[in-house]
């Protein structure tokens, strides 16, 4: 996607030495263009929800993003000679929707302590940890090895071993209800090719905003299945047609 945005007049639109033009606006694409736009949206969300953490704001933007246009056509990856349907490796969670992000229904929050505990499992020294957490921080004694997928992130990254006959990975997530009172969410699943997915429980009932509930997702490789380049799916918590809390799934064989 190309984005029209302000452009520094000290830099030419093509950034080539031979280009002597100066412009106030330019059309470009990539993370350099998307980052400032999403940062602005994050600031807007913070002004509406002053008690939300950075992780909560990120969750709201990600779980309300969409991957189909207004003609219900999937986002395409034009990096190939023949454009094909893009994957989460290309678009992440999709195209942001600021209005929906302001009322996401559920959020996946992560505290600084969660990040610190994760770093503890990577065998950082006490002096290394002090750079992140301060001199008084001590790693929990019972720290066990964690994978990135173990963080309470609003997406699922699953690594299967290529030579394993029984690939099974279970991840836990905790969601915080930030919508209207007395709602019941049901799970909807689009399984990745070659993978069976089991969610427990399949229903989440919230009585009031601020309530937290947890669920587990178990990913099991189907017999003889291994998808080159990765396999992708979607887990979605749905309340009527009001909330669709969408999480991308990416499974890779390493």
pLDDT digits (tens, 9 = 90+) for 189-212: 999 999 999 999 999 999 999 999
- Spatial CA neighbour of 151 closest among 199, 191, 176, 117: 117
* Claim to verify: residue 130 and residue 166 sit in the same structural domain: no
Task: Judge whether 126 lies within some domain.
Answer: yes
Percent of the chain with pLDDT over 70: 98
Task: Judge whether 175 lies within some domain.
Answer: yes
Domain of 196? 106-113+143-253
* Claim to verify: residue 160 and residue 121 sit in the same structural domain: no
* Cα–Cα distance for residue pair 109/28, rounded to 1 Å: 32
Instruction: Express each pLDDT in 119-174 by its tens digit.
Output: 888 888 888 888 888 878 888 776 566 777 889 999 999 999 998 888 999 999 99
Task: Judge whether 75 lies within some domain.
Answer: no
The CATH number of the domain holding residue 198 is 2.60.40.2310
* Claim to verify: residue 188 and residue 233 sit in the same structural domain: yes
Strands of the 106-107 sheet, one edge to the other: 106-107, 168-177, 212-221, 195-200
Domain count, the chain: 3
Task: Judge whether 97 lies within some domain.
Answer: no
* Claim to verify: residue 159 and residue 197 sit in the same structural domain: yes
> How many Cβ atoms are within 10 Å of 101's Cβ, its own excluded?
23
Task: Judge whether 93 lies within some domain.
Answer: no
User: What pLDDT was estimated at residue 45?
Assistant: 98
* Claim to verify: residue 124 and residue 201 sit in the same structural domain: no
More confident residue, 81 or 54: 54
* Claim to verify: residue 147 and residue 124 sit in the same structural domain: no
Q: Would you say how long the chain is, in residues?
A: 254
Task: Judge whether 219 lies within some domain.
Answer: yes
* Claim to verify: residue 151 and residue 229 sit in the same structural domain: yes
Given a cut of 60, is residue 227 above it in pLDDT? yes
Task: Judge whether 153 lies within some domain.
Answer: yes
**Is the pTM value of this prediction over 0.85?**
yes
User: What pLDDT was estimated at residue 252?
Assistant: 95
φ, ψ of residue 172 to 5 degrees: the values are: -110, 140
* Claim to verify: residue 149 and residue 183 sit in the same structural domain: yes
User: What pLDDT was estimated at residue 142?
Assistant: 64
Task: Judge whether 37 lies within some domain.
Answer: yes
* Cα–Cα distance for residue pair 197/171, rounded to 1 Å: 11
| Cα–Cα–Cα angle for 47, 53, 216, rounded to 5 degrees | 130
Instruction: Express each pLDDT in 101-117 by its tens digit.
Output: 999 999 999 999 888 88
* Claim to verify: residue 137 and residue 178 sit in the same structural domain: no
């Amino acid at each position: 996607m190309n984005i029209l945005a302000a452009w520094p007049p000290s830099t030419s639109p093509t950034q080539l030495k031979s280009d002597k033009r100066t412009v106030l606006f330019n059309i470009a694409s990539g993370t350099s263009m998307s980052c400032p736009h999403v940062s602005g949206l994050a600031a807007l969300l913070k002004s509406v929800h002053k008690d939300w953490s950075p992780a909560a704001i990120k969750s709201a933007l990600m779980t309300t993003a969409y991957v189909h246009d207004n003609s219900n056509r999937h986002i395409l990856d034009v990096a190939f000679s023949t454009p094909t349907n893009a994957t989460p490796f290309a678009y992440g969670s999709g195209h942001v929707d600021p209005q929906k992000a302001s009322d996401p229904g559920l959020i996946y929050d992560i505290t600084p302590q969660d990040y610190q505990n994760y770093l503890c499992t990577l065998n950082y020294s006490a002096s290394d940890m002090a750079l992140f957490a301060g001199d008084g921080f001590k790693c929990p004694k019972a720290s066990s090895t964690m994978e990135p997928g173990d963080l309470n992130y609003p997406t699922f990254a699953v690594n299967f071993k290529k030579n394993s006959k029984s690939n099974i990975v279970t991840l836990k997530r905790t969601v915080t209800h930030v919508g209207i009172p007395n709602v019941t969410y049901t799970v909807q699943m689009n399984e990745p090719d070659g993978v069976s997915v089991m969610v427990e429980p399949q229903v989440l009932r919230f009585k009031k905003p601020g309530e937290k509930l947890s669920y587990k997702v178990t990913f099991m490789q189907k017999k003889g299945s291994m998808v080159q380049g990765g396999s992708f799916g979607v887990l979605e918590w749905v309340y009527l047609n009001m909330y669709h809390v969408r999480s991308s799934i990416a499974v890779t064989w390493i």
